[in-house]
C-alpha cells in the first residue's frame, strides 16, 4: 500500500512537471497580462503548479473561456475564517489533553498485572 | 496597480523583517544543537542526529504557532500589524524549516531500511486504529504537505490567478496544518518526553494560539439589522484614516475621513484583500497598508494608468453619528464625499 501511494505521488509529480512546462511557456502569458514579458518569477511557480496542477488546468481552461471573478473578489471568506479559528481553539486543547492522557505514565494507565503462563506451558514437576 | 510580476517585491521593511527572522531561526537552531549535543552520543537513546531533527522540528512548530498568533494579536492591538504584513515570508521560511526536519527524519530512522525510505515511512506503522502508538508521522506529513502548498502558492501571481476568495480559502488550511502539527507533536514527542520544559513550551504555545483566537472572535460585535449600519461618532474617525465596520456576512466597509468629508469603500483591497481600513490616505488616495495599492475615496478606482476598482458605499450623518448603507455599490461607482457639518469638524 505504501509503495502504491508513493508511486501515485511520483506519477502526480511527473504529470505536474509536464503541466508546469506547458503552462509556463504557453498558457501564462495568455491568461495573465501581468506575466507577459516577465520571466524571472516563472521558476517560482513550478512547485505550486506541480502541487496543484488539476486546479491550474481547470482555471486555465476557465480563463481561456473568458471567466472573471467579479464582485466575489471583494468578499474574502471571513465568516469561514472565524468558524475555522473557533474550531481550532477547541480542537487544540482537546488534542493536547488526549495526548497527555494517552501517555503510558498518564492517569489512565492501569496497574501492571503479572501474567500467568498458560496451563499447557507450565513446567512439569 | 497592474505591474509586471517580479520574483519578490522587496522593500526595506521586508529586508529587515526577513533578516531578523532568519537570524532568530539560526540562533534557535544553533543554541538548541549546542546545548543538546553534548548530552547526546550514540550510546544514548537521544543522539546527535535526533537532536538536530528535534531542533528543526521544534523550531517549525514554534514558528507556526507564532504565525497563527499574529492574526488575532494584530486584531487586538494595532502595534502587531507590521508583523502581519510580511507574514507570507514567515510562512515560506517555516515550510523550509519543517522540510529540513522531515529530511533529517527520513535520513536517520529509515537510513538502513531494505525498502525505499518513503515506502518504509508509510508502511512501518499502520496502527491507525489505536491511540497509543498511533502513526504520528502521517500527521506530520499532512502538516508538511499543507505548508508546502501554502509556501508554493505565496507569490502574488497565485492570488491573481486563483482569485482572492479561492486563494484565501486555500490559505485557511493553515488551521488544518496546525491541528495536524499539534497532534503530530502530542502523539509523538509528548508521549515519551521526560523534559517538562519543552512539554510546557509546546502545550503553552498551542494553548496561547487557541486562546488568542477565542478572544479575538469574542471582540467582534454583532451586526445590527436594517439598511443603515452605525459607524460611530464623526469625531471618532481620525483625519486621513478610517473606521472599519462589519456589514454582515463576509463584508466590511472602511469609512475614511479626508479633511472635512467622509467616504466609504470596501475594506478588501483588490490586490490581496489587504485591510484598506488599516491604511491611510496618501496624496488623496486610500493606500493599502500591505503593498501600497491606491484608490480614490470617491469612486474606489485606482488612479490612471492603473485599473483596479473596489466597491463604494453610501453614507449619511444623523446628529453626530455616521451610518453606512450595507448594500455595496458596484466596484468603481462614484459616491460624492459626504461633507461633515461645520459643528462636528
pLDDT band at B39 (very low <50, low <70, confident <90, very high): low
Please tell me which of the candidates A74, A82, A98 has its beta carbon nearest to residue B310: A74
Percent residues over pLDDT 90 in chain B: 43
The mean-pLDDT minimum among A2-16, B5-19, B189-203, B257-271 falls in B189-203
Q: What is the ipTM of this complex?
A: 0.82
Rank A63-72, B105-114, B240-249, B333-342 by mean pLDDT and report only the highest.
B333-342
pLDDT for B224:
67
pLDDT band at B136 (very low <50, low <70, confident <90, very high): very high
Mean pLDDT of chain B: 87
Q: Are A98 and B182 in contact (CB under 8 A)?
A: no
Give the total residue count for chain B.
345
Please tell me which of the candidates B118, B132, B182 has its beta carbon nearest to residue A6: B118
Grid cell 439598511 in the structure block, residue:
B227
Inspect the interface and report whether the beta carbons of B155 and A6 lie closer than 8 Å: no
- Terminal-to-terminal C-alpha distance of chain A: 50
Secondary element (H or E) of residue A30: helix A28-31
Give the mutation candidate from A20, A33, A89, A105 for the B interface (greatest B CB count, under 10 A).
A89
String of b and e for B305-327 (b: at least 16 CB within 10 Å)?
Answer: eeebbbbbbbbebeeeebbbbbe
CA dist A5 to A50, B111, B211, Å?
17, 20, 37
C-alpha cell at B344: 462636528
Inspect the interface and report whether the beta carbons of A86 and B158 lie closer than 8 Å: no
What is d(CA A96, CA B184) in angstroms, rounded to the nearest whole number? 10
Inspect the interface and report whether the beta carbons of A102 and B131 lie closer than 8 Å: yes
Inspect the interface and report whether the beta carbons of B311 and A40 lie closer than 8 Å: no
pLDDT for B23:
97
pLDDT for B191:
85
- Spell out the long-range contacts of B297-304 with Cβ–Cβ below 8 A and sequence spacing 24 or more: B297/B256, B297/B258, B297/B261, B297/B263, B297/B265, B297/B337, B298/B263, B298/B334, B298/B335, B298/B336, B298/B337, B299/B332, B299/B333, B299/B334, B299/B335, B300/B265, B300/B266, B300/B331, B300/B332, B300/B333, B301/B332, B302/B1, B302/B270
Exposed / middle / buried, residue B123 (Cβ in 10 Å: 0-12, 13-18, 19+): middle
- Terminal-to-terminal C-alpha distance of chain B: 33
Average pLDDT, stretch B39-62? 81
**Nearest CA to CA, how far is A114 from chain B (Å)?**
21
Inspect the interface and report whether the beta carbons of B123 and A2 lie closer than 8 Å: yes
pLDDT for A107:
63
Inspect the interface and report whether the beta carbons of B186 and A96 lie closer than 8 Å: yes
Chain B segment 150-189 residues within 8 A of A by beta carbon are: 151-153, 155, 157-158, 160-165, 168-169, 172, 175, 178-179, 182-183, 185-187
Percent residues over pLDDT 70 in chain B: 94
Q: Are strands B338-339 and B294-295 parallel, antiparallel or unpaired?
A: unpaired
pLDDT for B65:
94
Residue of higher predicted confidence among B250 and A90: A90
**Nearest CA to CA, how far is B344 from chain A (Å)?**
32
What is d(CA B327, CA B62) in angstroms, rounded to the nearest whole number? 42
Amino acid at each position: 500500500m505504501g509503495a502504491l501511494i508513493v508511486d501515485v505521488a511520483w506519477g502526480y509529480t511527473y504529470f505536474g512537471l509536464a503541466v508546469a512546462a506547458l503552462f509556463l511557456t504557453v498558457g501564462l502569458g495568455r491568461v495573465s497580462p501581468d506575466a507577459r514579458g516577465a520571466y524571472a518569477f516563472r521558476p517560482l511557480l513550478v512547485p505550486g503548479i506541480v502541487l496543484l496542477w488539476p486546479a491550474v488546468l481547470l482555471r486555465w481552461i476557465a480563463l481561456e473561456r473568458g471567466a472573471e471573478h467579479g464582485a466575489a473578489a471583494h468578499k474574502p471568506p471571513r465568516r469561514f475564517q472565524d468558524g475555522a479559528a473557533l474550531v481550532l481553539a477547541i480542537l487544540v486543547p482537546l488534542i493536547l489533553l488526549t495526548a497527555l492522557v494517552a501517555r503510558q505514565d498518564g492517569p489512565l494507565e492501569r496497574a501492571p498485572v503479572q501474567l500467568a503462563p498458560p496451563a499447557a506451558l507450565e513446567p512439569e514437576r | 496597480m497592474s505591474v509586471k510580476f517580479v520574483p519578490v517585491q522587496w522593500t526595506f521593511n521586508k529586508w529587515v523583517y526577513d533578516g531578523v527572522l532568519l537570524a532568530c531561526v539560526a540562533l534557535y537552531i544553533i543554541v538548541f544543537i549546542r546545548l543538546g549535543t553534548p548530552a547526546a552520543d550514540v550510546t544514548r537513546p537521544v543522539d546527535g542526529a535526533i537532536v538536530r531533527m528535534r531542533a528543526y522540528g521544534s523550531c517549525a512548530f514554534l514558528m507556526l504557532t507564532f504565525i497563527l498568533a499574529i492574526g488575532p494579536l494584530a486584531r487586538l492591538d494595532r502595534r502587531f500589524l507590521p508583523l502581519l504584513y510580511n507574514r507570507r515570508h514567515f510562512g515560506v521560511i517555516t515550510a523550509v524549516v519543517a522540510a529540513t526536519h522531515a529530511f533529517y527524519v527520513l535520513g536517520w530512522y529509515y537510513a538502513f531500511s531494505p525498502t525505499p525510505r518513503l515506502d518504509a515511512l508509510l508502511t512501518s506503522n499502520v496502527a491507525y486504529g489505536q491511540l497509543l502508538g498511533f502513526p504520528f508521522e502521517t500527521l506530520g506529513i499532512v502538516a508538511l504537505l499543507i505548508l508546502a502548498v501554502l509556501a508554493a502558492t505565496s507569490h502574488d501571481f497565485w492570488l491573481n490567478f486563483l482569485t482572492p476568495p479561492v486563494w484565501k480559502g486555500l490559505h485557511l488550511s493553515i488551521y488544518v496544518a496546525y491541528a495536524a502539527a499539534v497532534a503530530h507533536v502530542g502523539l509523538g514527542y509528548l508521549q515519551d518526553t521526560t523534559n517538562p520544559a519543552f512539554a510546557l513550551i509546546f502545550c503553552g504555545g498551542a494553548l496561547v494560539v487557541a486562546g488568542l483566537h477565542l478572544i479575538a472572535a469574542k471582540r467582534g460585535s454583532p451586526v445590527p439589522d436594517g439598511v443603515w449600519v452605525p459607524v460611530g461618532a464623526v469625531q471618532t474617525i481620525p483625519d486621513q484614516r478610517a473606521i472599519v465596520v462589519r456589514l454582515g456576512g463576509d463584508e466590511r466597509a472602511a469609512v475614511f475621513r479626508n479633511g472635512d468629508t467622509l467616504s466609504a469603500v470596501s475594506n478588501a483591497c483588490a490586490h490581496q484583500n489587504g485591510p484598506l481600513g488599516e491604511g491611510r490616505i496618501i496624496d488623496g488616495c486610500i493606500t493599502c497598508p500591505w503593498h501600497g495599492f491606491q484608490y480614490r475615496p470617491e469612486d474606489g478606482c485606482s488612479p490612471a494608468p492603473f485599473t483596479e476598482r473596489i466597491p463604494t458605499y453610501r453614507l449619511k450623518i444623523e446628529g453626530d453619528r455616521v451610518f453606512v448603507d450595507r448594500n455595496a455599490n458596484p466596484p468603481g461607482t462614484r459616491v460624492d464625499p459626504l461633507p461633515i457639518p461645520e459643528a462636528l469638524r
